Structure 1
Amino acid sequence: MNKNITCPEILAPAGTLEKLKVAIRYGADAVYIGGQAYGLRSRAGNFSFEEMEEAVAFANEHGAKIYVAANMVTHEGNEKGAGEWFRTLRDIGISAVIVSDPALIAICAAEAPGLAIHLSTQASATNYETLQFWQKLGLERVVLAREVSMQELAEIRKHTDIEIEAFVHGAMCISYSGRCVLSNYMSMRDANRGGCSQSCRWKYDLYDMPFAGERKSINGEIPEEFSMSAVDMSMIEHIPDLIENGVNSFKIEGRMKSIHYVSTVAMVYKKAVNAYLESPASFEAIKQELVDELWKVAQRELDTGFYYGIPDENKQLFGARRKIPEYKFVGEVISYDENSGTAIIRQRNVINEGDTIEFYGPNFRHFETTIQNLRLAETGEKIDRAPNPMELLIIDVPQAVETGDMIRRSGAGLINLYKKEGKVAMANGTH
């Protein structure tokens, strides 16, 4: 292992204040959020200035940082008010802004000195000359384009000492690092100004059109539905390559994901980094456990993006899913009573008496048990089924849990879907 390497930051997404606090509790060293202007996720739970103040205070208490994405492409007039907006972020205590548009970069540098600027992946930085260019302009960090290979990453690191942030987990864009106009055509929503309708995720059909005006679907002859959607990225098995090649920040995609997703993925990558920095052998010993843990959250199929070659047709989503998780997030711990061995939980999905569940918490704590003595927290009434979201319940637990621990209902593991003699078959097993 390279003795000169440093511990990379785990950078998690947060679409809401709740998700931000969960991400930090579960291991994120930094969290990126959106404000109510200049971002690319108009449908995410973007933060008001008051929420940012609370987020910064919470992050400071836990030794974490907050970054704000301001990565839209500005047209004439979009930049109005940006100087005041950036100064407000600086004064609130935001650690850095993530920007792609040179106009916004110039405004931020001139009107909000002291606020660090990180280059967004939207700027498509793919070579070390580009990183050197932005470093000379005063930027502290560059988020690499998702299209950079591991070999290119190594070459970039050899020629520059600017901080490098790289995506390690989450959705891939079918276009070039998010520079897409498909949504503009399909739904009149500008993907580069916060309105992406994710047209690439839609299902499409093939049609036979032998004569003008006639259209006949051939869906019956070709069973797969077609999309332009890429599988998600997961670099959990390749943490050593990323660390050894000098990546300073491991970025997880997903500001619109659930607290179940954010907590699990942040926890797993934090555990992976700590294990590898302890020793390569420590990482290898838990690698499969880390992979299995990631497959407990809802996501698309996983691969390594462009890091080890250009993705082929097998790295696209079409037809039946080949792997799906069989775990569902069902609740979180509100409090634990050591004397009675019971926990008050807030339910998020249906819970039944006798369900097999797994508790998990920060630092990779987890154990399985069954729902026993299920009852309503308000009245103590015993029930067999709790169907109402956000209801407070009491259950018996065989060992101590902590406030903020998560609960998921487990099944028989992963279901692998595969094609056999023209049919889709199902089999339990691991990936």
Structure 2
Amino acid sequence: MTIDSSTPRPELLLPAGDMEKLKTAVRFGADAIYLGSEAFGLRAHAGNFSLDDLRQARAITAAAHVALYLTLNASLRPSEFTALEALLEELKPLDLDAYIVADPGVLTTIRRVDPRRAIHISTQVNSCNPRAAEFWRQSGASRINLARELTLEDIRAFAGQTAIALECFVHGAMCVAHSGRCLLSTALLERSANRGDCAQPCRWNYALVEETRPDERFAIEEDGRGTYIMNSRDLCLIDQLPQLMAAGISSFKVEGRMKSLYYVATTARIYRAAIDRLSADPTAVDPLWRSELEKVSHRPYTTGLLLGDQGAAIHAADTHYIRTHDFVGFVRRDEKGLWVAGRNRFFAGDTLELIGPQMRQQAFVAERITDRDGQPLAAGQPNSELLLDLPQWAEEGDLIRRERPR
């Protein structure tokens, strides 16, 4: 396997569900960030950004030389285009780096209202072949997010048959439906997944009912908790990055605008380290990367359909979250110095671990916990403001975790 040294290293594209997560993604190594406004995105229940928030986000990312992409990938109704045009006019001065779209009507509206803006095509359009990619390129798009149903061989075919830049998901939650185009939420709850309001009924526990005995429910069981028959695993392609880089992928995208601050930091620092090292030496896969990704809350990992018949797996009998570590706090700074914002409970005497960018991490013991006035505390609590004896290299924005008792 070889990676062309003349090819720019792939972009690391991280999610931001709110301003704190955006700052964390920037600090921990993102090249680009995607987020949603208060309309026309596919995460209606994420911490979406108001126009004022977007101005602040643009200032933060511009200062850090990080690209900022806005999701406008919902499927629109005829009556909504007037509001879209008004939003696009308001967004013009922000000079965002690209809009992510799926609806051809949205694309043509952007081309008319804001023709200078770059357009990226969402995975929602199910782009499974190079001819479809060429259609989008000729329509004005500069990048396409490939369908997650593609194999590595399929992806290699794209690079030779289209000039559009290729982006793919490498980590995060997956959808039971083809590239996320699901009608189940609409059918059961009148909440459209294609308009940002998915209730995730695929994650629910179902039972069988025989029509002549409607009061009797028959569990579909694998264990005492039941079987989640439509639930999907989480994607993790950290071990496949060299092949994806060699195949011509120019942007690696992490799913998770509704995930935690700890998730954003962990995925950013690991994929940042991996991209940087593998760009220099594609054989230098570090087992630590996978080990660290196991320490963030996740469903069982899979490589999806990327490797074809070699271990292809999307669904599992039990896809409850695996949690080996708790995110217990993050480091803040003010005029008085460093302090810790508590997120989960921990106790004096617990072994904690500080993690920061550039793969910095160090275990330490919480020998003494106090409030900010120096009064001793037995435990750190959520939403508390604490003082701890941190490792000397601690900086604002670093995170603290604790291994869960086994």
Aligned counterpart, 2:218: 217
Deviation at 1:337, TM superposition (A): 11
Deviation at 1:93, TM superposition (A): 1.8
- Identical aligned pairs, as a percentage? 34
Whether contact under 8 Å (2:353, 2:364) holds in the other structure is yes
**Partner of residue 328, structure 1:** 326
Residue correspondence of structure 1 range 144-183 to structure 2 within 5 A:
144-183=146-185
Pairing 1:359–2:357 present: no
Q: Does 1:402 align with 2:395?
A: yes
**Deviations 1:113-133 (CA, angstroms, capped at 9, x unpaired):** 111111111111111111111
Residues of 2 paired with 1:306 and 1:393: CA distance? 46
Residues in 1 aligned to 2:101 and 2:327: alpha-carbon distance in whole angstroms:
34
Structure 1 residue 158, shift from structure 2 partner: 0.8
SS in 2 for 1:177: helix
**1:54-84, Cα deviation, whole Å (9 max, x unpaired):** 0011001111011000001112212222223
Partner of 1:26: 28
Match of 1:350 among 345, 348, 352: 345
Shift of 1:229: 1.0
1:251 corresponds to which of 230, 250, 253: 253
CA-based RMSD of the aligned residues comes to 2.2
Does the 8 A contact of 1:335 with 1:343 survive in 2?
yes
Deviation at 1:324, TM superposition (A): 2.4
With over 3 angstroms needed to count, the CA separation of the structure-2 counterparts of 1:353 and 1:221, relative to structure 1, is: closer
2:70 to 68, 73, 93: 68
Matches within 5 A, 1:27-426: 27-207=29-209, 209=210, 211-218=212-219, 223=224, 224-281=226-283, 283-284=284-285, 286=286, 288-309=287-308, 315-319=314-318, 324-335=322-333, 343-377=338-372, 379-387=373-381, 389-411=382-404
Q: Assess, with a 3 A threshold, how the Cα gap between structure 1 residues 221 and 126 changes in structure 2: closer, same or farther.
A: closer
Relative distance call for 1:37 and 1:310 in structure 2 (3 A) is: farther
**Aligned letter for 1:350?**
R
Offset, 1:380: 0.8
Aligned to 1:421: none
Write the distance in 2 (CA, Å) between the matches of 1:30 and 1:220. 43
2-structure distance, mates of 1:188, 1:32? 27
Instruction: Measure the CA separation in 2 of the matches of 1:221 and 1:21.
Output: 42
Shift in alpha-carbon separation, 1:310–1:125, aligned structure 2, 3 A: farther
Kindly provide the amino acid, as one letter, of the partner of residue 382 in structure 1.
P
> What is the distance in 1 between the residues matched to 2:241 and 2:311?
23
Q: CA deviation at 1:325?
A: 3.1
Task: Please state how far the C-alpha of 1:194 moved relative to its aligned partner.
Answer: 1.4
Q: Is the 8 A contact 2:305 2:312 kept in 1?
A: no
- Residue 180 of structure 1 deviates from its aligned partner by 0.8
Q: Output one character per residue of 1:284-314: Cα deviation in whole Å (capped at 9) or x when no partner.
A: 2x2x100011111111111111211269895
**C-alpha distance in 2 between matches for 1:303 and 1:381:** 47
Q: Look up the SS of the partner of 2:23 in the other structure.
A: helix
1:360-414 Cα shifts (integer Å, max 9, x gaps): 001111011110111111x211111133x221111113432111100001246xx
**How many Å apart are 1:210 and its aligned residue?**
7.2
Q: SS state of the match for residue 277, structure 1?
A: helix
Query: Which secondary structure state, in structure 2, belongs to the residue aligned with residue 206 of structure 1?
Result: strand
Q: CA deviation at 1:318?
A: 2.4
Are 2:174 and 2:232, in contact at CA under 8 Å, matched by a contact in 1? yes
Normalised by the length of structure 2, the TM-score is 0.94
AA matched with 1:352: F
Q: Distance in 1 between matches of 2:85 and 2:288?
A: 47
Return 5+ residue gaps in structure 2 as ranges: none
Structure 1 unaligned regions, length at least 5: 416-431
The amino acid that maps onto 2:13 is L
Letter matched to residue 290 of structure 2: V
